[in-house]
Amino acid sequence: MTTILAIETPNRVTIACDSMASGNDVIQLEQPKIFENHGVTYGVAGTVRLLNELRYADLPSPEQDDDLDEWMTRRLTPALRQLITDMGEEKNDGGEYDLHILATTGGRVYEITGDLAWIRNTSGVYAAGSGGPFALGAISAGATIEQALEIAAKHDPYTGYSLTALEVWKDQE
């Protein structure tokens, strides 16, 4: 699958990903699994088709005075639901879509799960994809986000190739 990591602190948000795609073949993606769309940075674990659709979709952007939690609930998740429906994606046996998205905006990280609910984690550490548990363990043991991604790539057969980490928000104070 993949590994997407995000760490939110009061002063910054950093997001990281690998570049492996697996299916019938294992390939290195030319474009990272993290990208910006209308003022929101997304990290996507799921099908490459979903990654491509989200990268170029006309998704809503938050306004400066928006309550971000309300914006996620009333604007972004309905838009994602519509996009996925338009793509013809079907739910798995558990009644969820095969996706896991980390969305960052306004200094916050939102984890969007297969039922299209969003979650904010009080730890400020988020992981998506098959390598996520390895990366979370590494972070808990004191690894940097880059080191955690390398550890996930070492232990998860679906995480690998080039690794990318981006600082997507930094407090200007």
Buried b (16+ CB within 10 A) or exposed e, 13-25: bbbbbbbbbeeee
CB 111 within 8 Å of CB 126? yes
What's the average model confidence in pLDDT over 29-48?
Answer: 91
Nearest to 111 by CA among 145, 144, 147, 69: 69
Q: Is the pLDDT of residue 102 over 80?
A: yes
- How confident is the model at residue 98, as a pLDDT? 87
Q: Is the separation of the CB atoms in 101 and 57 below 8 Å?
A: no
All domains in the chain, ordered by first residue: 4-166 (3.60.20.10)
What is the C-alpha to C-alpha distance for residues 61 and 84, in angstroms, rounded to an integer? 18
Q: Which whole number is the average pLDDT over 75-89?
A: 94
> Per-residue pLDDT for 64 more than 90?
no
Query: pLDDT category, 14, cuts 50, 70, 90?
Result: very high
Residues 122-169: pLDDT tens digits? Answer: 999 999 999 999 999 999 999 999 999 999 999 999 999 999 999 999
Q: What is the total residue count of the chain?
A: 173
Give the model's pLDDT for residue 32: 84
Give SS3 for 158: coil
48, two tokens: 């490459």
15 and 6 Cβ atoms separated by less than 8 Å: yes
> Does residue 173 carry a pLDDT above 70?
no
20 forms beta bridges with: 28
**What are the start-end ranges of the H helices in 20-170?**
48-56, 68-71, 77-87, 132-140, 145-155
Encode pLDDT of 104-118 as tens digits. 999 999 999 999 999
Q: What is the mean pLDDT of the chain?
A: 93
C-alpha to C-alpha distances, 119 to 57, 102, 159, nearest whole angstrom = 22, 10, 24
pTM, 2 dp: 0.93
